[in-house]
Amino acid sequence: MQPEDVILVEDYCLNYAIEETFVFSLEEYGLVELVVANDRKWIPLHQLQVIEKFSHLYYELDINVDGIDAISHLLRKVEMMQEEIRLLKSRLNVYEGRS
C-alpha cells in the first residue's frame, strides 16, 4: 500500500464534514472496503467515488444505511440485467446475420 493510494478515514471525514461512523457503517454493510494499516483505517482511492455517492444519499436525501444497502443491491441487479441484455442482443445480432 502506497500513501498516495489511500486516505486516512479521519482526514477524509474531517475534510468532507462527514461522520467517521458513517464510513465505518458502510464498511460493516460491505458497501465499501477499507484498509487497516498501523492500527488505523484507510480508504483506498478507488473507493472515494462510492463513498461520495453514498454520502449524497445519506446526508442530502436522508436515506439511512439500510436504505443505501438496498439501493446498492438493486443497482447491482440492474447492472447485471443490462449486461445480460447486451449479451443477448449481441447473440441475436449473430443469428440475424446468418439469415
pLDDT for 95: 80
pLDDT for 3: 60
Q: Which residues contact 73 (CB under 8 A, 6 or more apart)?
A: none
Residues present in the chain in total: 99
Q: What is the pLDDT along the chain (99 residues), one digit of tens a residue?
A: 566 799 999 999 999 999 999 999 999 999 999 999 999 999 999 999 999 999 999 999 999 999 999 999 999 999 999 999 999 999 998 887 765
Q: Would you list the domain boundaries of the chain?
A: 3-98
Nearest C-alpha neighbor of 28 from the set 68, 63, 75, 74: 68
Q: pTM (2 decimals)?
A: 0.81
Provide the CATH topology of domain 3-98. Multidrug-efflux Transporter Regulator; Chain: A; Domain 2 (1.10.1660)
